[in-house]
Amino acid sequence: MEGFGNAYPSYVPSELVSCSSKGRNVTYHCYLMELEQHYEYQVSVNDIVLAIRSELDSEIVDTLSGTSFDVKRGKLLVNLRHLEPIQLSPEKVQSCRRFQTTLFRILLNRDVTKLTSVSDDFSLGDNPEIDFLLLPATVKHQRPSNSIIDWKPVLSVPFSSESTCDCKDHACNVRIRNDSVCSCKLENCVVYTPHNGSIYIIYTTDGTKKLNGNSTLNQGLKGITTYKEHFKKRHGIELGFEHQSLLHGRNLFKVENYLLKTRQKTEKGKNMSSVDLPPEVCSVIMSPISIGTIYSFSFIPSIMHWLEGLLVAFNLKRMLLDHFTPNDIPISKVLQAITAKGCEEAYDYDYLETLGDSYLKYIVSQQLFKTNQNDREGALSDKRKNIISNDVLFKYGCTRPLPGFIRKDKFDPKQWDVPGDKSNSILLLKQKLDSSRTRVYVRKTREIDLGIIADVVEALIGAFISTEDEKAALSFINWIGINVDTNIMPYENERHISIIAPEELVKAKLLKSRLNYSFKDPYLLVEALTHSSGKRPEIRTCYERLEFLGDAVLDYVITMHFYKEYSNDKFSAEFFTNMRSISVNNECYALSAIKAKLDEHILCDSVVKNNIAQTMEGVKNLSLESTFGWELETYFCQVSCLIFQCITSSNPNNVYSHYWHIH
The pLDDT value recorded for residue 215 is: 93
Identify the weakest region by mean pLDDT among 51-65, 561-575, 637-651.
637-651
Q: Residue 206 above 70 pLDDT?
A: no
Among 20-29, 298-307, 331-340, 349-358, the least confident range:
20-29
Quick one: DSSP state of residue 536? B
pLDDT digits (tens, 9 = 90+) for 96-120: 999 999 999 999 998 888 776 656 7
What per-residue confidence (pLDDT) applies to 662? 42
Which whole-number Å values give the CA distances from 304 to 29, 134, 138, 203, 255, in the listed order? 16, 10, 20, 26, 13
In the CATH hierarchy, which top-level class contains the domain 157-162+170-288? mainly beta
Looking at the DSSP assignment, which residues form a beta bridge with residue 201?
190, 250
pLDDT of residue 269: 46
Confidence (pLDDT) at 24: 87
- Asked about 166 being catalytic, the answer comes back as no
Rounded Cα–Cα distance for residues 343 and 375 (Å): 43
Rounded-to-10 torsion of CA 522, 488, 392, 326: -150
Find the mean pLDDT for residues 334-343.
96
Q: What percent of the chain has pLDDT over 70?
A: 84
C-beta of residue 100 within 8 angstroms of C-beta of residue 115:
no
Per-residue pLDDT at 101: 92
Contact 358, 560 (CB under 8 A): yes
Report which of residues 136 and 542 the model is more confident about. 136
- Judge if 157-162+170-288 and 502-660 fold alike in CATH terms: no
The pLDDT confidence band at residue 432, using thresholds 50, 70 and 90, is confident
Q: Which of 79, 80, 20 is nearest to 53 (CA)?
A: 20
- pLDDT given at position 419: 87
Find out whether 338 and 316 touch, Cβ atoms under 8 Å: yes
Fold of 7-12+300-480: Ribonuclease iii, N-terminal Endonuclease Domain; Chain A (1.10.1520)
pTM confidence score:
0.88
Over range 22-39, report the average pLDDT: 92
**CA dihedral sign of residues 451, 455, 457, 458:** positive
Distant-in-sequence, close-in-space partners of 105: CB < 8 Å, separation ≥ 6: 111, 114, 115, 116, 418, 421
pLDDT, tens only, 123-175? 777 788 899 999 999 988 777 767 899 999 999 998 988 777 767 665 568 99
Query: Which is more confidently placed, 572 or 317?
Result: 317
The answer to whether the CB of 298 falls within 8 A of the CB of 413 is: no
Lowest mean pLDDT among 160-169, 219-228, 249-258, 556-565: 160-169
Kindly name the residue from 458, 551, 555, 599 that is annotated as catalytic: 551
Cβ atoms < 10 Å from Cβ of 343: 22
Lowest mean pLDDT of 199-203, 296-300, 578-582, name the range. Answer: 578-582
Does domain 502-660 match CATH 1.10.1520.10? Answer: yes
Neighbours of 76 (CB within 10 A): 22
Average pLDDT over residues 55-71: 94
Q: What is the mean pLDDT of the chain?
A: 84
Q: Which residues contact 137 (CB under 8 A, 6 or more apart)?
A: 32, 46, 47, 48, 49, 143, 148, 149, 150
Catalytic residue from among 492, 494, 569, 625: 625
Helix intervals (H) in 338-419: 350-371, 377-388, 390-399
Q: Say which residue, 390 or 659, is predicted with more confidence.
A: 390
In this structure, the strands spanning 26-38 and 74-82 are antiparallel
Q: How far is CA 189 from the centre of its chain?
A: 36
Which residues contact residue 341 at a Cβ distance below 8 angstroms, ignoring those fewer than 6 apart? 348, 349, 350
Report pLDDT for 342: 95
Q: What percent of the chain has pLDDT over 90?
A: 50
- Which amino acid is residue 279, in one-letter code? P
173 burial class (0-12, 13-18, 19+ CB within 10 angstroms)? exposed
Question: Which pLDDT value is given to residue 499?
Answer: 65
CA 538 to chain centre: 58
CB-based contact 419:100 (threshold 8 Å)? yes
The residue extents of the domains of the chain are 7-12+300-480, 157-162+170-288, 502-660
pLDDT at residue 632, as a whole number: 47
Number of H helices, E strands in the chain: 21, 20
| Confidence at residue 653, expressed as pLDDT on a 0 to 100 scale | 47
Active site residue 447: no
Which pLDDT band holds residue 218 (cuts at 50, 70, 90)? confident
